[in-house]
Amino acid sequence: MLNPQYFRCFRRIICIMETKSPYFSPKKTRNFAKQQHAGLKAIVLQKSVTAEGGTSGINAPVKASIAVPEIKLEQLAPEAPDRKRRQKKKPIKIETSPDRSESCANGFPGERTPTKKDQAPFDDSGIKTEAPALESDGTAKQSKWEPENWRLALDNIRQMRQMMPAPVDTMGCDQFKDDYSVPAKIRRFHTLVSLMLSSQTKDQVNFECMQRLRKHGLTPENVIATDVAVLEKLIYPVSFYKNKAKFINQTSQILVDSFDGDIPDTIEGLLKLPGVGKKMAHLCMRSAWNVVTGIGVDTHVHRICNWLRWVPKETKSPEDTRLALEKWLPFELWQEVNQLLVGFGQTVCPATNPYCNECLNAAICPAKGKHGIRKTPIKREIKTEALEF
């Protein structure tokens, strides 16, 4: 028969938990017991020692041979006396946390101290990050975006342009700068007028109109003296020939009044002329003044740069393409890229049904086959003798 002292000790433990806990519930009792487990165990051991020493408050002595077993509380909450609240209580198991005094030198048992390789930097979201590269002055170094395989694609375009001449090579707007039979001021004016006529017009048509204007007398003074209706007939059939005839007449008047018959030598001055946009201004500075101020982006350059993904994201206008292209393309290629891509778009890569079967970039072009593939051979010869002036 067990000693009644054991049951009194057990009941005292329950009373201590009920009084010290904020309110008696299985959850609170479980948390309280986890925190006070060491203290409870010490109380039981103290009672057992007292029983062995004979100092208990009970008259009958307790035998020293009685061993107090380890207490494992399965259910601490007594059932409520009210029959209406009779509910089946889930058993509450108290598990002790590992003793920190018995932990190994590296921490808790089974825990490994992380090495230097494991201690990688993480951000607030838990994603592994790398320390940014720093410049010489200590500021963060920003990586410049570049398209994939762009140098290989550019070399292939150079090779194709050498094998297949394009209309821009012989009838482009910059062909008039090399005519040394006229003064330099007039040559620059010819370049400006040719660029104004080239908007949404093929080079062959533009070249024919320029030859008729030069035969008529293409100087600012002569253009002012010519009636606008006559200019319209001379530049027909370029696109928007009526508006262009009016713009050429107004521009000639501005050049005579403000620039002594010459064209402006700055982007700001060229943009103030009627009918001159940013593309024309940059091309005119390169062709007329031999100064590179930006990349001239027309419909061919705009289309090919988007097809080859030479822009971080698809652009909606040639001006957006110019801004994106100038951010990563080396400055030494700004003068070359317009002539290369325009001729490439005129011969191998037109807007509809490009010659993908004959293109050297077919293996690396993201747009291959998306706009049709033309199966007829490319025209490799351009005859300027057939043009009517």
Residue 295 structure tokens: 């990349």
Catalytic residue, from 117, 279, 368, 383: name it: 279
Write the CB contacts of 294 (distance below 8 Å, at least 6 apart in sequence): 267, 278, 282, 322, 326, 334
Residue 294: CB atoms within 10 Å: 19
Residue 14 structure tokens: 């329950």
Q: How far apart are CA 75 and CA 90, in angstroms?
A: 8
Contact 129, 123 (CB under 8 A): yes
Burial class of residue 385, CB neighbours in 10 A (0-12, 13-18, 19+): exposed
Query: Does residue 279 have an active-site annotation?
Result: yes
Question: Amino acid letter at 75?
Answer: Q
Q: How far apart are CA 368 and CA 180, in angstroms?
A: 44
Residues recognised as catalytic: 279
